[in-house]
Amino acid sequence: MCLIASSSSLIFLAQGIIGTGSGLGTFLLKVLEDEFPEVYRFVTSIYPSGEDDVITSPYNSILAMKELNEHADCVLPIDNQSLFDIISKIDLMVNSGKLSTTIKPKSLVTSSAGALKKQHQKPFDAMNNIVANLLLNLTSSARFEGSLNMDLNEISMNLVPFPQLHYLVSSLTPLYTLADVNIPTRRLDQMFSDAFSKDHQLIRADPKHSLYLACALMVRGNVQVSDLRRNIERLKPSLQFISWNQEGWKTSLCSVPPVGHSHSLLALANNTCVKPTFMELRERFMRLYKKKAHLHHYLQIEGMEESCFMEAVSSLSALIEEYNQLDATRSMPVEDLPRLSVAV
């Protein structure tokens, strides 16, 4: 299924990269590029888990990735397994009565509609709610007023230093729907800390132990610029930014909070922690492709040749190599660039 939201400067495309979503979604992406070449194309792409029940999902995913590399301006990868783990963890805490300070009962995520009724049943509604809240927070600056609003095209301009490296790791906090109206500063600071925790990432990744190219913080609610700056300075020592972009932060403050919250935070990180997801996808692809398993289903389609698969995996391998080269710079010292002196 694909959902397209458009404006004069932006097009959103939400798709899976398995099954119908991969083929139809990437086809629409190419059509949109042809029809609206000046418009930014953002894609929220759902990646399959290792337990996916579609046996050919590695083929579909690799083929879709090639099109995302070539035709999207920004891609927000979301891992089905990560969403499932988040919901399972919330449900476990609700049922055990051990709720943390950032999770509330009776929310859309933890309600009977969202919580796991049985451990083997996947809570698709609750998983979709998380993705929907991601999109709502992402577009809040375009829909509401704020003291430090951000045009969405600034995300691509500030977070994507190289054309191919346009995959942004997203994290969302809080993960519940109902909250206290008055949250003290301690809780506000905890929200910023949670955004960089691996438990709040929408793919299975740990950005704090990987290399940042850039990071955007999109805050909603009654939060001051001073709160934003204080938390950035507090967190900077624990985060490793690439040597040539030590101040690679982009911030947004929207004064309208989400329903049921006093404030919320969406973090978007261009971070090398996305690389293991791509490597795992390539490994699953190669296990099938080496045996030529199920390949005949694709080769029966007009215009589809075996070379398409090799081109797709080569495209992904080139992307992984770019991340490897960036990771190799982690030990490089940060250059203290000279500043211009002004004669008085």
Mind listing the pLDDT tens digit for each residue in 136-168? 999 898 888 888 888 888 999 999 999 999 999
Q: Are residues 316 and 231 in the same domain?
A: no
Q: Domain containing 148 — which CATH number?
A: 3.40.50.1440
- Establish if 212 belongs to a structural domain: yes
- The DSSP string of 310-326 is HHHHHHHHHHHHHHHHH
Please give the pLDDT value at position 261: 81
Give the residue from 261, 277, 293 where a domain finishes.
277
Same domain? 76 vs 225: yes
Q: Do 62 and 176 fall into the same domain?
A: yes
Could you give the number of structural domains in the chain? 2
Cis before 123 (ω within 30): no
For position 323, which CATH number holds? 1.10.287
How far is it, in rounded angstroms, from Cα 154 to Cα 166?
13
Does pTM top 0.75 for this prediction? Answer: yes
Whether residue 123 is found in the same domain as residue 152: yes
pLDDT score for 182: 42
Residue 264, in any domain of the structure: yes
Segments forming the whole domain that contains residue 315: 278-327
> CA-CA distance, 108 to 241, in Å (whole number)?
35
- Please indicate, yes or no, if residue 26 is contained in any of the structural domains: yes
d(CA 305, CA 302): 8
Contact between 192 and 288 under an 8 Å Cβ cutoff? The reply is no
Q: Which H or E run includes 225?
A: helix 225-235
Contact 252, 148 (CB under 8 A): yes
By the 8 A CB rule, do 65 and 35 touch? Answer: no
Same domain, 37 and 92: yes
Look at the block and give the residue holding tokens 């009962």. Answer: 105
Residues 142 and 46 in one domain: yes
Rounded distance between C-alpha atoms, residue 109 and residue 123, angstroms: 9
What pLDDT is recorded for position 118?
A: 44
Burial class (CB in 10 A: 0-12, 13-18, 19+), 249: middle
Residues 21 and 43 in one domain: yes
Q: Tens-digit pLDDT profile for the chain (344 aa)?
A: 455 555 555 676 666 655 566 778 888 888 888 988 888 889 999 888 777 778 888 999 999 999 999 999 999 999 988 998 888 887 776 666 555 444 444 444 544 444 444 444 557 888 888 998 999 999 898 888 888 888 888 999 999 999 999 999 999 998 765 433 344 444 889 999 999 999 999 999 999 999 999 999 999 998 999 999 999 999 999 999 999 999 999 999 999 998 878 889 999 999 999 999 999 999 999 999 999 999 998 998 888 899 999 999 999 999 999 999 999 998 776 666 565 555 55
Are 270 and 161 a contacting pair, CB within 8 Å? yes
Last residue of a domain, one of 250, 277, 304: 277
